[in-house]
Amino acid sequence: MMPNNAPIILLREDTDVSQGTGQLLSNIGACSSIVSCVASTLGPRGMDKLIVDARGKATISNDGATILKLLEIVHPAAKTLVDIARAQDAEVGDGTTSVVLLAGEMLKEAKPFIEEGVAPHVIIRGYRKAAQLAVEKVKEMAVTIDKTDKAAFHDLLLKCAGTSMSSKLIHSQKPFFSRMVVDAVTSLDAEDLDENLIGVKKVPGGGMQDSLLIKGVAFKKTFAYAGFEQQPKSFVDPKVLCLNVELELKAEKDNAEVRINEVSEYQAVVDAEWQIIYNKLEAIVKTGAKVVLSKLPIGDLATQYFADRDIFCAGRVPADDMKRVVQAVGGSVQSTCSDIDPAKHLGQCGKFEERQIGGERFNIFEGCPHAKTSTMILRGGAEQFIAEVERSLHDAIMIVKRAIKNNQVVAGGGATEMELSKYLREYSRTIHGKQQLIIASFAKALECIPRQLADNAGFDATDLLNRLRMKHAQGSRWEGIDIDAEDTADLMERFVWEPSIVRINALSSAAEAACLILSVDETIRNSASDQSGPGPKAPPGTAQRALRGRGRGGMPRR
């Protein structure tokens, strides 16, 4: 029988255990620290962050998901905010800073209740109810745009793209890039709208307005062998053959063993190698293709052979560029040179040319009959600048994609949040108990978006929020912060629009993240030294922390 004072081995030595209300408040504090990092990036007057990684690579960005990804956060609870920002970026593309701000503010509003001893599950229940009501209210408020009126719908897409860009580095060229983004997205297949088929190529040099959209495919000139310069670089209505075949002389000694007795036999082996590649090249020429692309290398023999017959070729074409070429010109990627049917397997484009853009040469396919893809060629001074332009355009592309799939819009600029705040505050007065206070605190948390927009622009946030509350109480449901006039305005009339799905996803994700963090009351952190230190390893899940035999309530047994 075990004596009363025998130690019970439960947790590894040096395991850090934090629990109870203190742990919950610590997690809320960690999340608030992250919010303070990204809060100043919100809105048209948001600031950028310059983040330098361990290798010295500098990134300038005001995209919430990008900043949080680069911060390399180690606090386990705070990582939840990084996850919701990434989820918002993947699902909707924009609103990453908003979702982090909302989650942080919800936790901040919950903090006094935790300190006063309210059970976390009571708060979680209230927040879930409030989030459900808010999402239903957004769906009810959303304005549906008629897709059948092509001009009006195109105008809607331009305005949604413009709203997304207003807080980005490219806001000075908003009309130019809005048109580019809408043209790029509308060139995709209307069914799946795969944004990966919009190619983005970065060419340093020139101004931002020198960027251009190719209604087809453009990719940088691939590695070229001898004979490349003799090939023609421009065609009208060429047939295009896409291959996954290596057109290079291979020394058979690398992967075969041949026993020979005479020199003539060796010569026959060498001749056979040459004959194999010549048969492939002749089969390609017979198809009538004028542009030959391959994912694998096209060697100097093949390059010279094609040059002699006025055929253009490019080897080592990246897989994503090849995929977009096939989407644009038609045909399919062939893995053999025999039995190629020109009618089925070859594509065609209106014009092919090799063109100099900045310091790079590009192969450009335009006038494609099956064009379900396009390519943006971005210009700018610094590489960091072009990278941020690319991130900004990604957000705008995703917003336009969502607007096409879901043609319901709400106003931005904090107008939607203020209307939801008013609605939830009124609802909270119709119920009793602790839920009344918790739903009212959720309503207050929603005001962080217009407040932060005003703060970032240098306005008096308290004055503007009071004015917004008054306007919404009087029935102006789309009243939000007007950055240009340092006042409030009807943002639906000002065309500050965004798809309702952005707000719905942000509210749902932020509430889920807040509830998740509130439901954690203990963190058990295993020491890193236990994983690699000397001595015998305990099996997974065992622990070596001695808890002396204790009675109920943690009191020592007598």
Sheet strand arrangement including 143-144: 143-144, 408-411, 497-499
DSSP H or E run through 108? helix 96-115
For range 312-318, the mean pLDDT: 91
Helix axes 434-446, 120-141, angle to 10 degrees: 50
Active site residues: 63, 96-97, 395
Q: Which domains are present in the chain?
A: 15-144+411-519 (1.10.560.10), 146-214+374-406 (3.30.260.10), 216-370 (3.50.7.10)
Q: pLDDT band at 536, cuts 50/70/90? A: very low
The tokens describing 279, both together, are 């048969």
79-110, pLDDT tens digit by residue?
A: 888 888 888 888 887 888 899 999 999 999 99
Backbone φ and ψ for 513, nearest 5 degrees, come out as -65, -45
pLDDT at 528: 61
pLDDT at 336: 85
Tell me what percent of the chain is helix, strand and coil, each rounded to the nearest 5.
50, 20, 35
Closest CA to 490 of 478, 474, 505: 478
pLDDT at 548: 36
Q: Strand, coil or helix: what is 79? A: helix
Question: Rounded to an integer, what distance in angstroms lies between the CA atom of residue 63 and that of residue 501?
Answer: 19
pLDDT at residue 288 tops 70: yes
Highest mean pLDDT among 6-15, 212-221, 535-544: 212-221
Looking up tokens 């295009």, which residue turns up? 240
Q: What is the pTM of this model?
A: 0.77
pLDDT at 546: 35
Is the separation of the CB atoms in 228 and 316 below 8 Å?
no
Question: Rounded to an integer, what distance in angstroms lies between the CA atom of residue 57 and that of residue 46?
Answer: 23
Q: Strand, coil or helix: what is 48? A: coil
DSSP H or E run through 392? helix 383-405
pLDDT at 100: 92
481-528, pLDDT tens digit by residue?
A: 988 888 888 888 888 888 888 899 999 999 999 999 988 887 777 766
Between 352 and 194, name the one with better pLDDT. 352
The tokens describing 307, both together, are 């040059």
Between 397 and 5, name the one with better pLDDT. 397
DSSP H or E run through 378? strand 374-380
Question: What percent of the chain is modeled with pLDDT above 70?
Answer: 90
Residue 240, number of CB atoms within 10 A of its CB = 24
331-340, pLDDT tens digit by residue?
A: 888 888 888 8
DSSP at 556: B
For range 65-71, the mean pLDDT: 86
Is the separation of the CB atoms in 217 and 365 below 8 Å?
yes
Closest CA to 185 of 456, 407, 405: 405
Is the separation of the CB atoms in 378 and 386 below 8 Å?
yes
For range 56-74, the mean pLDDT: 86
pLDDT at residue 554 tops 60: no
pLDDT at 512: 92
DSSP at 298: B
Lowest mean pLDDT, pick from 248-262, 457-471, 511-525: 248-262
pLDDT at 552: 41
190-214, pLDDT tens digit by residue?
A: 777 888 888 889 888 888 888 888 8
Looking up tokens 């994503």, which residue turns up? 320
The tokens describing 492, both together, are 């639906």
Looking up tokens 């295993």, which residue turns up? 526
For range 230-257, the mean pLDDT: 79
Q: Is 14 exposed, middle or buried (0-12, 13-18, 19+ CB in 10 A)?
A: middle
